[in-house]
Amino acid sequence: MNTENTACARIEEAIGQFDAKGVLTEKRPYGNGHINDTFLLVYELPEGGKKQYILQRMNHDIFKKPIELMENIVNVTEYLRNIISSQGGEPERETLNVVKTRGGENYYRDSNGNYWRMFLFIERTVCLEKVESAKDFYDSAVAFGNFQRMLADYPAGTLHETIPNFHHTPSRFQAFKKAVQEDKLGRASLVREEIAFALERERDTSVLTDLLAAGQLPLRVTHNDTKLNNILFDEKSRKALCIIDLDTVMPGLSHYDFGDSIRFGASTGEEDERDLSKIELDLSLYETFTKGYLEGCGGSLTRREVETLPMGAKLMTYECGIRFLADYLEGDVYFKIHRDGHNLDRARTQFKLVADMEAKWDDMRLIGEKYQGM
């Protein structure tokens, strides 16, 4: 990434603020996140050897309250660290570790007003952009279920809402309709079919929020962005080691975590695949994830939750599709893109998956029934 004249122009200033050990020998853009600017920093230690860190410029167009966001992350990781330690785990590798600035702060605000943070780099791990084996996906399911279980008694009222209505699908639908009506770049006429697909499903958008409002589904502390590249696997044992990207840990429904993992990992193609004939819901992976997730949650999900998980999968996929399409219509201002039409390609894969879920709905429900009571 060219750091001249960009939001990252102050990267050198930021690096100097954090309490990293040794002499900086390498700095490069890192990972495939769609939101923050992520860098890997390598330091040579005076006693020999290297230490690596992740430096991120937080996207504060999206996260309007970066200070509160960091407070969430510090508190949640502190809480997890205690549980991991008490279970004999390795907290430096099994959760994120925030590196403070020399002044003892959890973030640095540069002279251009950008917010930066640093984490210990979690060594000897792999980050997957696509499911490579059913076992990996199963392990990720257990880990996400476990994550929710570990946070079951976390004081949810102390968490700041980092993005209001993040998975409130009816609000996402309204935002989508507004983007269509405004049609800022005159792109709507190019995507009539996709817009119609989204509009036809308005009735689905409120199914989960209505159940929540009626007290039929419990509010939990959830991750809310459970795609496979937000988990690190141990390089050697290939176990799901650490859940990262904690920017959106907030009260939510189990369906959000379940559904977001399914839309990314149980698809037969990548999120931005252009050849839609390659995109389907892999029912076998759907079952694998269901089993692992329920196991990870340790039997804590209610009957009604398990029964309605297929709707979580469908709605999270649909919601992501309308978010990508709205961003395409608004001129690609939210998700990072790497080619023209990238957000449109992403929206199309999500809608193809939604259609395939509708075709496979009975099977999805049967899988839920099979694991009821787990």
Which residues touch 116 (CB under 8 Å, ≥6 apart)?
14, 17, 18, 55, 56, 57, 58, 107, 108, 109, 110
- Stretch (H or E) spanning 119: strand 115-120
Residue 153 or 235: the one with the smaller Cβ distance to ligand ADP is: 235
At closest approach, how far in Å is the CB of 287 from ligand ADP? 26
Please say which residue, 38 or 261, places its beta carbon nearer to ligand ADP.
38
CB of 56 to ligand ADP, least distance (A): 6
Of 31-39, 75-83, 110-118, 362-370, which segment contacts Mg ion by CB under 5 A?
31-39
- Which phi and psi angles does 276 have, rounded to 5°? -70, -15
Instruction: Quickly tell me which residue has 């930066």 as its tokens.
Output: 116
- 96 counts as binding ligand ADP under rule CB under 6 A: yes
Residue written as token pair 């419990």: 218
Residue 271: contacted member of Mg ion, ligand ADP, ligand GN1, none (CB under 5 to 8 Å, by partner type): ligand GN1
33 binds Mg ion (CB under 5 A): yes
Rounded Cα–Cα distance for residues 299 and 293 (Å): 10
**43 vs 57 by CB, closer to ligand GN1:** 57
In the chain, the amino acid numbered 121 is: F
Residues in CB range of 324: below 8 A, 6 or more apart: 335, 343, 344, 346, 347, 350
DSSP 134-147: HHHHHHHHHHHHHH
Hunting for tokens 């309709």 — which residue is that?
177
CA 317 – CA 19 distance, rounded (Å): 40
Least distance (Å) between residue 68 CB and ligand ADP:
16
* Residue 112: CB atoms within 10 Å: 10
- For residue 196, the minimal CB distance to ligand ADP (Å) is 31
Q: Binding to ligand ADP by residue 30, rule CB under 6 A? A: yes
Query: Does 285 help bind ligand ADP (rule: CB under 6 A)?
Result: no
Please state, in angstroms and rounded to a whole number, the distance separating the CA atoms of residues 14 and 283: 46
124 vs 370 by CB, closer to ligand ADP? 124
Q: Which among 156, 166, 159 is positioned nearest to 68, based on CA atoms?
A: 159
Q: Tell me which stretch binds ligand ADP (CB under 6 A): 1-9, 71-79, 119-127, 150-158.
A: 119-127
Residues numbered 237 to 256 that lie near Mg ion (CB under 5 A) are: 245
Question: Is residue 224 near Mg ion by the rule CB under 5 A?
Answer: no
Identify the CA nearest to 30 among candidates 16, 14, 20, 41: 41
Residue placing its CB nearer to ligand ADP in the complex, 99 or 374 = 99
Among 8, 14, 20, 35, which residue interacts with ligand ADP (rule: CB under 6 A)? 35
- Choose the contact partner of 227 out of ligand GN1, Mg ion, ligand ADP, none; CB within 5 to 8 A by kind: ligand GN1
Strand partners, 247: none
Per CB under 5 A, 230 contacts Mg ion: yes
Joined together, the tokens standing for residue 243 give 């859940």
Neighbour count for residue 264 (Cβ, 10 Å) = 25
Q: Which does 297 bind (CB under 5 to 8 A by kind): Mg ion, ligand ADP, ligand GN1, none?
A: none
Residue 27 corresponds to which tokens in the numbers above? 């700095």
The smaller minimum CB distance to ligand ADP, of residues 27 and 177, is found at 27
Question: From the CB of 364, what's the least distance to ligand GN1, in Å?
Answer: 20
What residue number has its CB nearest to ligand ADP?
33
Question: Does the footprint of ligand ADP cover residue 245 (CB under 6 A)?
Answer: yes
Residues that bind ligand GN1 (CB under 6 A): 33-35, 225, 227, 230, 245, 247-248, 260, 271, 320
Q: What residues line the site for ligand ADP (CB under 6 A)?
A: 30-36, 38, 54, 96, 119, 121-122, 127, 229-230, 232, 244-245, 247
